[in-house]
Chain A
């Protein structure tokens, strides 16, 4: 049976059996090929995509019953001004509840030492971490998607070591940590990669940023700080810098923001690089309204909210108020 069938004198019986077997084999091969093709069938080949994947939304992290609150405290010691400002707003316990998972968005954009104030001050970040833990937070995460090399940024700025020592988890963004996000009604943030992974399970969001000059945007403060949540080729947004900052103010609703004007960068921003670029303005702001915080911050740079077009537009769209005095900010001094 297993011997090769002579080509010229086929045994009819054997041929029929062999033919049937071959037919079965062929049928199986055809079925397998067809099945594989059906399994791989692409219902959405390139060119017929819709308006992009369904967008995920960033939750609103604000605390409803806290209302719009703001505190402005003068003094050179960031730990003391921060504590006093939070006390003036009713204590951090009004915002951070036991069991909260807190994400702290620092500005770690550049691989520069803390003394140059191009990045969030590490002691300030660490104190925020400690206060959150003291208020009962189950975990505090610290993150940013910096401009320079991420590892170097968190190392040289001192934020990484200070935050870890205070008990926070420092999250360096990886390529897979971003997810496409669309701002409802947005024009720029459409299906754009936004830092996603560190937000998993997060219940409260705090932004903490220094006051810096910025040639394109006028100033970089707490709202511009959300730029560090963007991924992809985000530099394109410089073509409409006011537009992107306005959209960020709509996208991100933080629990509160901390604007650090202890040292303000007046020139050569946002990188700085020299102590000559800095001016001791010895003021720290905590606010539930980032527009109000930044409107006040503009005055530390010798400007007003009118000089920063994005502030009025953000306010118009419900992001807050440029008239920060209307919030009756608590004022104090610990110098």
Chain B
């Protein structure tokens, strides 16, 4: 396994998640072990219900596994409580979501500032302006999400994800709510920033074309890794 590699930023060992259902315990994820190196781009693919989102939630420390361990940027997530995991996320993780998840009551600039403010960092405003300029939205900083197009909203979300210079960026179907052309532009931007800042990109998608742009594809079926390429 690649888990032994020296510059591993994200690794799991025997990761599993079970939930109780009316039919008894249900395994959503079983025995997932993987290792992702710094700067790598990885696509997690699979059909609906394969456990992609669950794996993403566990990798990012948003949820707790029922078995196994997760290590993120040197932190053993499974040994931390909710607040501990939040602190790790604040320092090492960025997110881009399918439905953007911008706060409607904040302007584009304020949305990008939010993770910096939560981390208690000085000069949130300056850093946020800089990143917004990099995604081409210098003119839109004062706009509220409802005043922006879908593509613009996702660019704000990408700016928010990169503003903390995260070690790992998790993206959940980032083009799922966008038309093909806009989606392509967004992905160009994402890969460009990824390459420029050396961030590790973990992308959940069922879009083959999108997955093919990643350095590696991990296939998930019924909660198990069924294959990896290349």
A binds B: no
**Residues of chain A having any CB pair with chain B under 8 Å:** none
**Residues of chain B having any CB pair with chain A under 8 Å:** none
